[in-house]
Amino acid sequence: MFRKIITSFVPAKKMIDMFTLKIVSNQSIDKIADKVQAECDNYKFALLKTYNYHEIVESKGFPIKRKVFIYEICQAKTASLMLTDFPGFSIFMPCKLAVYENDCKTVISTMNMELMLKAVNSNKELYGNAVSLFNTLKLLMANLAEK
């Protein structure tokens, strides 16, 4: 029922915007992509996997006219706490960081976790770690966007 209420009042594009955190940069996508590993190291995230999505879809016969990189990143302590008490949260893991070209700008984005993290606030240690992780991820993104 809640889903019906939300979808009747919130258009689909608005829902995507609600659940996405974006930072727009004037830097080239290649310059930002070159900094991802170092920034993950600086902010104590493990860079698990990098996808050059524009190359992946092109290799399948569906070229696109923009570069899109998707990074899977993780902080093991928070992941361990989350999976111990809330294994259903695993569908949102690891954290994704997307970097893509749009309107001659570079967009750095991730899932806005603020709403979902409230679902785990019954475990104070986990909630504190998860909020700290999200705040750190926002700092990482802001640093990537800077010159």
- Which of 98 and 120 is assigned the larger pLDDT? 98
The Cα–Cα gap between 74 and 140 comes to 13
The single residue listed with the structure tokens 């970097």 is 99
pLDDT tens per residue, range 112-143: 998 788 888 899 999 999 999 999 999 999 99
Tell me which DSSP letter residue 107 carries.
E
Report all structural domains of the chain as residue ranges with CATH numbers, in order of start: 22-145 (3.30.310.70)
The structure's pTM equals 0.88
pLDDT tens per residue, range 47-90: 999 999 999 999 999 999 999 999 999 999 999 999 999 999 89
